[in-house]
Chains A and B, each alone.
Chain A
Amino acid sequence: MKYGLTLAPSGLDPHLNASAELGIPLSSVYDTLVFRDPDSGDVIPGLAESWKVSPDGLIYSFQLRSDVHFHDGTAFDADAVRENIAYVTDPDNHSQKAASLLGPLAEVSVLGPYQVAFQLSEPYAPLLDSLSQVYLGMASPSALRQWGPAEYQFHQVGTGPYKFIEYIPNEHIVLERNEDYNWGPSIYTHRQATIDRIEFRFFENEATRSIALESGQVDVIGEVPFREAERLASSSRFVLVPVPIPGQPMQFFLNTKRAPTDDPLVRQALTLAVNRPGIVETLFGSTSPPAFGPLSAALFEPLLPETHPEYDPAQASQLLEQAGWIDLDGDGIREKNGQDLKLVLVTPTWGANPEAAQLIDVSWEILGANVEVVTAPAFGPLKELQASGEYHAIGLNFFGTDPDLLRPSFTSDGYYNWSQIDDPELDQRLTAAANETNDTAARTALYQSTIERINTSYLVLPVRDYINLVVARSDLTGLRFSLQGWFPFLIDLEFSS
């Protein structure tokens, strides 16, 4: 079987690198201590049979399975867990994601051959979600030691349903069935993989993805542009599987530190002036839902308020007048104290951000603003533009399966606080929610009130919840995805013919 990937990752070690693309093959090479049920969101046993959280939320102790071994024959035990975490947290290894997922982890101690405890310096509710992710998948400690951080990515050894056979950068990744596998989590339908060998190839150019599928170079591929996806799905040879990706929607942060968006009335007006359902319809057809909060409806629906501001250009115009922005000289641009209403909108070039930014630009021009759209070709330049502070709106979003995702974006000292918000109330609630390990209802309530506050302060302009359009041959069955949305359960794939 051949699986089409869309980005060639710069590094393939999930413990050290951060790309979502690497998880598509590697989620089946590694097992994690726990898994999350994609339907209910519940945390379920994986390599850990059971776990306990101490009442103060500082110690997570795991009872591990004793019948598991790695693809190289090494037995899986408590020492293996400790070595994995040591590898991820070693500052010399420059982990880009896994280390952050561990939050305030202080120490991992081995309590017995199959018992291990994670000791935290402060309570950290997202820990179990973190441990369910491929970035903290359990690797063979002997392989980690043998190859080291630079070369391990080419020689990965896990306990999962597929063995890692070969990786040639930019060319392909090859996996083969693990015939010993019988310790899969309950969310896998099969106990063993059916397909013997899977080759992954990279199709970075959007225009070539449907060609790859139609010409039989791949059997399944993700991130197909929506028109192509609809065209392919109309033929009986292919099926379209839309996969919602939980996390932050496509969104533009509104800068609260720079005039005129420092005025909440202006931020509200700019939000009401944008026809989000219209934009989403134009850019993504019927494939994506419009977004109305700082988190996606997928997975986080219970945290979002039931009502949200509708598109209302008349009220937007009134709000601006109330804020003192009136077009006195009749040139189509509003002024206040002799200053034109000028807005700088910064957009990343990836995804459909530039197209969305153009349509937002038009809405704001109609409202009477003079808008300059600036594009950033990569994350570095985007961060540079952000650091200059000279913007009113800037596009950025992250995916994730724990609402703690909000903390870096909306706390005053957050690394991604791009609306430049400094609100003690938000700081306090987001920290309290991250520390709330025992009372799920209290944690939910904290996030509900946080999101309500983010929405009513108009800190972001959300646009669209992300849907990954995966197209597959119609005789390929069992295509299901993990809670994160990107990662297929390769073990359950079968050809029906």
Chain B
Amino acid sequence: MVPVLDRPRIQLLIVISRRLIEGLLTAWAAVTLTFFALRIAGGDPVANLLSQGLATVEQAAALRQQLGLDRSLGSQYLVFLGNLLHGHFGQSLYTARPVGRIIFEQLPYTMALAISGLLIALVLGFSLGVLAAWRDRRLDGKTASFIANVSTALPVAFTGILILYLALRISIATGQPMASPGFFLPSIVLGIASMGPIGRVVQSGLRESLQSEYILAARARGIRNGFRLLWHAIRPALPPVISLVALEAAYLFSGTVVTETVFSRPGLGRLLVKSILEGDFPIAQALVVLAALFYTFSHILADLAAILLDPRRRRSG
């Protein structure tokens, strides 16, 4: 018999372990799908490897055998899963380098960009959302809401090129050569892309709670201070925002392909696209496993945060 006091903690454990199992299953499904999809749709990796050479049929056959690609798809899959369970991602077909090392070399670039992009998105998204909900009948509120909607709709490729072009104009006007656009510009592009959805969720949550009875009651009790009122109103609006931020974070971390390409930056997104196009399966598979695990992890964190913010969830599980 579990003491009543421990129940919330157990509920928490159940939630986390359920999420973990779901996550592992998702990762397995994702990697299995990737494995077969890449091999069926991606074409022959040996043809890819020799696509610049003047290889003969014999050379192609020898390379296929060397890479173990002459075995049946089923047995290749079993070997791959077995290695994965031991933490081995295998080697790149192009360079024979361990896939883990290739990924960890590119990871810091994507991390830095994702974190700064997310921070920008949070600051701008919250500001827009609060403004849009708090002053929803006035011009500034309407403008904030409009900006959030537009930024949700704009594709990253478009804002990317636009911002690069503006930077070029500024560099020509000021006579300063543009240093490599490295970090600042792409962070802004990512920030703009993610601020829209965050702003909209903040706005709708806040609008709802501003009309709720407890806020009316608080007003009736004479709480006039805007910031105190806002603090009360925003707490119940937070859980969906946190789930969204977790999703956005996972999206940013698992690769920001377009931004990386437009700004010629290294990173996981470009690595993923390149490895898929070139048929470097081991890299693509490892990235998919990592992305699936990352999604799982950020969802668990979001659940935990939601539970901590809303005591009712602790009781109901």
Contacts and interface: CB of A to CB of B under 8 A. Distances in A.
A205 B262 contact: yes
A381 B42 contact: yes
Interface stretch (A64-72, A149-157, A314-322, A333-341): A149-157
B44 A216 contact: no
17 contacts: A10-B92, A18-B52, A92-B66, A100-B50, A100-B55, A151-B97, A170-B266, A170-B270, A171-B109, A204-B261, A208-B262, A211-B165, A215-B178, A217-B180, A379-B278, A380-B42, A398-B52
A169 B236 CA distance: 45
B63 A415 contact: no
Contacts of A377: 277
Interface in A406-425: 407-408, 413-415
Interface string B66-98: 110000000000000000000000011111111
Nearest to B43: A380
B94 A17 contact: yes
B177 A94 contact: no
> Which of under 10, 10 to 19, 20 to 34, or 35 or more describes the interface residues of A?
35 or more
B10 interface: no
A310 to B, nearest CB: 32
Contacts of A382: 43
B177 A100 contact: no
A253 to B, nearest CB: 15
A33 interface: no
Contact of A169 (B177, B179, B266): B266
A383 interface: yes
Nearest to B278: A10
Contacts of B262: 205, 207-208
Interface of A: 8, 10-11, 13, 16-20, 91-94, 96-97, 99-101, 149-151, 153, 168-171, 201-205, 207-208, 211-212, 214-217, 377-384, 387, 398, 400, 404-405, 407-408, 413-415
B196 interface: no
Nearest to B40: A384
Contacts of B2: none
A225 to B, nearest CB: 14
Given A170-B265, A208-B264, A381 B59 contact: no
Contact of A378 (B62, B97, B278): B278
A384 B43 contact: yes
B43 A383 contact: yes
Contacts of B52: 18-20, 96-97, 398
A377 to B, nearest CB: 7
Contact of A204 (B54, B165, B264): B264
B161 interface: yes
A93 B67 CA distance: 10
A303 B264 CA distance: 41
Contacts of B177: 215-217
Interface string B149-184: 000000000000100110110011000011111000
B276 to A, nearest CB: 8
B51 interface: yes
A101 to B, nearest CB: 7
Contacts of B267: 170
A188 B185 CA distance: 41
A25 to B, nearest CB: 16
B310 interface: no
B49 interface: yes
A383 to B, nearest CB: 4
Contacts of A171: 109, 265-266
B41 interface: yes
Interface string B3-45: 0000000000000000000000000000000000000011111
B56 interface: yes
Contacts of B165: 211
Contacts of B43: 378-384
Nearest to B51: A379
Given A100-B53, A408-B56, A11 B95 contact: yes
Contacts of A381: 41-43
Given A94-B67, A168-B266, A217-B180, A100 B47 contact: no
A189 B262 CA distance: 37
Contacts of B56: 100, 408, 415
B279 interface: yes
- Of B50, B53, B57, B67, chain A has the most CB atoms within 10 Å of the CB of B53
Contacts of B67: 94
A18 to B, nearest CB: 4
Contacts of A100: 50, 53-56, 59
A387 B60 CA distance: 14
B235 interface: no
B44 A10 contact: no
A201 B265 CA distance: 10
B274 interface: yes
B208 interface: no
B212 interface: no
Contacts of B45: 380
B180 A201 contact: yes
Given A96-B50, A100-B59, A384-B44, 15 more contacts: A8-B270, A93-B96, A94-B66, A96-B53, A208-B264, A215-B167, A215-B168, A215-B171, A217-B178, A379-B47, A379-B278, A381-B41, A398-B54, A415-B56, A415-B59
Nearest to A382: B43
A17 B96 CA distance: 11
B280 interface: yes
B95 A415 contact: no
Contacts of B171: 215-216
A387 B47 CA distance: 11
Given A11-B95, A203-B264, A215-B171, A169 B106 contact: yes
- Of B52, B97, B265, chain A has the most CB atoms within 10 Å of the CB of B52
Contacts of A205: 261-262, 264
Which 5 pairs show the lowest CB-CB distances between chains A and B?
A380-B43, A216-B177, A170-B266, A18-B52, A383-B47
B164 A101 contact: no
Nearest to B97: A150
B143 interface: no
B48 A380 contact: yes
A384 B41 CA distance: 9
B271 interface: yes
Contacts of A101: 53-54
B105 interface: yes
- Of B42, B94, B109, B179, chain A has the most CB atoms within 10 Å of the CB of B94
A17 B264 contact: no
- Of B43, B67, B178, chain A has the most CB atoms within 10 Å of the CB of B43
A91 B66 contact: yes
Contacts of B66: 91-92, 94
Contacts of B266: 168-171
A153 B44 contact: no
A59 B266 CA distance: 46
Contacts of A400: 54
B96 A380 contact: no
Contact of A379 (B48, B102, B181): B48
- Of A20, A91, A202, A217, chain B has the most CB atoms within 10 Å of the CB of A217
A384 B43 CA distance: 5
